[in-house]
Structure formats: structure tokens, C-alpha cells
Amino acid sequence: MADLRFIQNNRQLIVGIGSALVDILIHEKDEFLEKTGAVKGGMTLVDNTWIEHTLAMSSGTATIVPGGSACNTIVGVGKLGGKARFVGQCGNDHWGRQYEIDLSKQDVTPALLRSDLPTGRVLSIITPDAQRTMFTYLGASAETRPEDISAKSFQGAAVVHIEGYLLFNPDLIQTALAAAKEAGAVISMDLASFTVVEQSKELLDKLVADYVDILMANEDEARAYTGHADEGLAFRALSQSANIAVLKVGPRGSHISHDSKRVDINSMGDGTALDTTGAGDLWAAGFLFGLVNGYSLEKCGQLGSACGYEVCQVVGAVIPDEGWERIKKLLE
């Protein structure tokens, strides 16, 4: 595994690669979710018709925002004042054009590929406990070809952040990881969802061993990846897998491991949440921004915790301006 070269080489650009998706969020009771047959907190691939049919059954009003795991992280980096670029593919439709406009407005450089398929979308059903269960139509994002990605995509990057959802496209994620390594970047991966980990375990083990420097997981993902139900054992196993390992434990905070050192980070606020959509993604934004700016692991974790807390106070993965103002006070 690489050392943390960006601390020495003055690079500060963070590049994310993942699915360019529009988030559709609805609030429903557990009974509504049970009718879908999905496991709460997981992610299921569906077609566009399924999303439309489920939306028609919903009694609530949908909130629609730009999304995608890696994109959420990179937007957070841009809002913090960092250098940010997003690589993904969207459709030649209204949503695709709006997606590019929104990225630019958030101080992110778009590096978008185009497809004749519709822009992908994610239906997130948010239950009263603030858990979100996702149903994803990949659309144009699934059309990204390995040959479209090269070291040029990541030129100048300190960190390339890759979402675990790309594991559903094995050739693409392997090409992206190799290209990021060729570009001299440190590689960060968020495991994304326990269902993704369960379905891609063999490939994931190989890719983490060969490429990943920073590995991030929540409790469910860590359990699926390490095979340990015990949190302490799971964190220890994560720590042995990557140069920096992060275990996010929701309202209890997070744990960070690097160079045999463990750092425990408290959660912000009182731990309450309106919606957990994007919590892990925005945590990663704060943490990675801190790393490329040379902050201590403690301060990186605190910044991640602040970003994760603020996004849980709103519906969707878009922190309002007043939230960013509170977060930026930590940088002063």
C-alpha cells in the first residue's frame, strides 16, 4: 500500500468517481417499506419502472436532489473550499444537464461522460427511525466503460475517492483503481452498503489488498466485510486491511486507525437525526478535506463528524448554507 504521499507533495485535489444519480427521497412508515420486500438500510438495484410504480404508491411528497455516494462526498469537499472534481456518467436529458450545472454551482469541476440512456436515480425510503433504504436505477451511470477512464481522469489528485457501489461493475472499478494508482493518488474507498459488500466480497478483498489506502465502513458494512459481529474485532480487522481505517458508528461517533494508533471521535450534537441520507458520504468529505490540508487525525475526524451531523438534520444529502457556516468554524 502507498504511504500518504499527499502530505508531502502539496497536492490538494480530491477526485471522486462513482454513479451520477438523482436522489428521490420520500418519508414512509415501516409498513410501506415492508411491502417492497427490502432489508432496511440496504440497497437494491431496480429498473426505472419499479421506481415510478413505488412513487405512485407513496402518500408523501418527494424531495429531489443531485446525488450519488462519491458525488455527495466531492460536493462536500467543494463546499468546504477544497479542490474537487467528479468523474461519472449521466444522460443527455434534463436531469443530466441539471446535474452538471449543480456540480459547478457547488465549486466542483464536472468530468462527466454522456449516454443516451436516462440519468440514473435513487429512490430512498426514509422510515421514522431516520434509516434510509435505497432502490437504485443506474441508468446512464451503468454505461461507463473501462476504456473511458485513464490516469488523465485523476491527474493532479491527492486522493481519489471511490464508492463501493462501483463493485457492481468489476472491470470499471479495477480500471479506475489502476488509473488512480498510476496517477500517483492515494486511494480512498467507502464500502457504501452491506448488501454491496455481501455480493462482492471476493473481489473486494482483492481490490482492498492491492489498491486501497483509506477504507471507510459503518457497522453493518464492517460486519459484512470482516465477518465479525463484535465491533472491536471488526475494527481491528479493518485496521489490518488499509493504511487508514475508519469505522463509523452513527450517533456514537467514529473510530480511526493509522500506524497502530487508534483515535476515537465523539459524535456532534445530541445524536438525533431527521434523515441519515448522505451521513457517511459527508463524513468522508470532512475527513478527506482535513487529510489533504495536513490536519491531525483527531481534527480530520471531528470535521467529518460535523459534516455527518449537519446532513442528518435535513432531508437529503445537501447541507444548507447555515450548516456549512457552523462547520467552517472548526477550521478557524
| Burial zone of 227 (CB within 10 Å; 0-12 exposed, 13-18 middle, 19+ buried) | exposed
Say if CB 165 and CB 139 are below 8 A apart. Answer: no
- Give me the amino acid identity at 177: L
Q: pLDDT tens, 107-164?
A: 999 999 999 999 999 999 999 998 889 999 999 999 999 999 999 999 999 999 999 9
| C-alpha grid cell, residue 273 | 437525526
Give the contacts of 214 (CB within 8 A, at least 6 positions apart): 159, 186, 187, 188, 189, 242, 243, 244, 245, 246, 288, 291
pLDDT score at 9: 64
pLDDT at 242 over 70: yes
Average pLDDT, the chain: 92
- Average pLDDT estimate for 184-201: 94
d(CA 327, CA 330): 6
Coil, strand, or helix at residue 112?
strand
Give bridge partners of residue 120 from the DSSP assignment: 21
d(CA 14, CA 284): 11
Phi and psi based region of residue 260 (left: phi greater than 0; alpha: psi -120 to 50; beta: remaining): left
Q: pLDDT tens, 57-110?
A: 998 788 887 789 999 999 999 999 999 999 999 999 998 998 999 899 999 999
pLDDT score at 230: 96
pLDDT score at 260: 85
Tell me how far CA of residue 194 lies from CA of 51, 164, 190, 322, in angstroms.
21, 10, 11, 32
DSSP per-residue codes, 182-204: HTT-EEEEE---HHHHHHSHHHH
pLDDT at 3 over 80: no
Give the contacts of 286 (CB within 8 A, at least 6 positions apart): 76, 80, 300, 303, 304, 305, 306, 307, 308, 327
**SS percent in the chain: helix, strand, coil, step 5:** 45, 25, 30
pLDDT at 165 over 70: yes
Q: pLDDT tens, 245-282?
A: 999 998 899 999 998 899 999 988 777 888 888 899 99
DSSP label at residue 296: -
pLDDT score at 2: 43
pLDDT score at 1: 41
pLDDT score at 264: 96
- Average pLDDT estimate for 35-48: 91
| Burial zone of 325 (CB within 10 Å; 0-12 exposed, 13-18 middle, 19+ buried) | exposed
Coil, strand, or helix at residue 241?
coil
Please, how many CA atoms are within 13 Å of residue 321, restricted to the half-sphere of its CB?
2
- Give me the amino acid identity at 34: E
Give bridge partners of residue 14 from the DSSP assignment: 84, 159
pLDDT at 236 over 80: yes
Full set of structural domains in the chain with CATH = 7-20+69-116+146-331 (3.40.1190.20)
pLDDT score at 132: 87
End-to-end CA distance of the chain: 33
How many CB atoms sit inside 10 A of residue 311's CB? 29
d(CA 205, CA 272): 34
pLDDT score at 269: 75
| Burial zone of 211 (CB within 10 Å; 0-12 exposed, 13-18 middle, 19+ buried) | buried
Give bridge partners of residue 13 from the DSSP assignment: 157
What interhelical angle do 279-292 and 69-79 show, nearest 10?
Answer: 50
Q: Which residues of 107-118 are buried (b: 16+ CB within 10 A; e: fewer)?
A: bbebbbbbbebb
pLDDT at 331 over 90: no
